[in-house]
Amino acid sequence: MKVFIVVLCLASAALAHHEEGHAGHDHHDHHDHHISHDGHDYTIKTKEDLSRFREDCATKLKVSSELLEKYKNWDYPNEETTRCYLKCVFEHFGFFDETKGFNPYMIHHQLAGAHGPVDHNDELHRSIDFCADHNSQKSDACTWAYRGGMCFIGQHLQLIKDSLHQH
């Protein structure tokens, strides 16, 4: 959960900053942030992408209005619908696959944004990789995604807050 919140905060902050820098430009331009680094391809997602992902996942999972209100306040209770909602959003971002788990490279690219090359040997990547466990617990995919998100936020909240100012 916390990883998800951090990722969403970072994505939202990066997108808000990105949109400010593109004021007056055609809005189609901001979808062209395709990153290719060390054989990993990723397109930086936008605030609009996030909104679309949230809406799609809420509809697909029939999330109650009560839970949606909690999500708006960044409150993600540890219960099945919420765990699966977070998994769904992570999947849309390209961060999570229910068979393979988290992709630390894609998460790292989203957090770093379109601001140059990403060093997959740096502290941020090690932090992401630490929380992207290999599901040795054999949890269901929703629990696995939720656990990873909670780990990242729990372990690296200050890192996430600091990175918001870099975008």
Residues with pLDDT less than 50, the chain: 1-32, 160-167
Residue 150: its pLDDT value, please? 77
Helix, strand, coil percentages (3-state) for the chain, rounded to 5, are 60, 5, 30
Residue 99: its pLDDT value, please? 94
Residue 18 lies in a domain: no
DSSP three-state, residue 115: coil
Q: Which tens digit of pLDDT belongs to each residue from 82-111?
A: 999 999 998 998 989 999 999 998 888 877
Residue 31: its pLDDT value, please? 42
Distance from C-alpha of 90 to C-alpha of 95, rounded to nearest angstrom: 5
Residue 45: its pLDDT value, please? 76
DSSP three-state, residue 43: strand
pTM, to two decimals: 0.72
Residue 63 lies in a domain: yes
Residue 21 lies in a domain: no
Residue 71: its pLDDT value, please? 81
Domain limits for position 131: 47-164
Residue 84: its pLDDT value, please? 97
Distance from C-alpha of 64 to C-alpha of 18, rounded to nearest angstrom: 32
DSSP three-state, residue 32: coil
Residue 31 lies in a domain: no
Distance from C-alpha of 27 to C-alpha of 23, rounded to nearest angstrom: 9
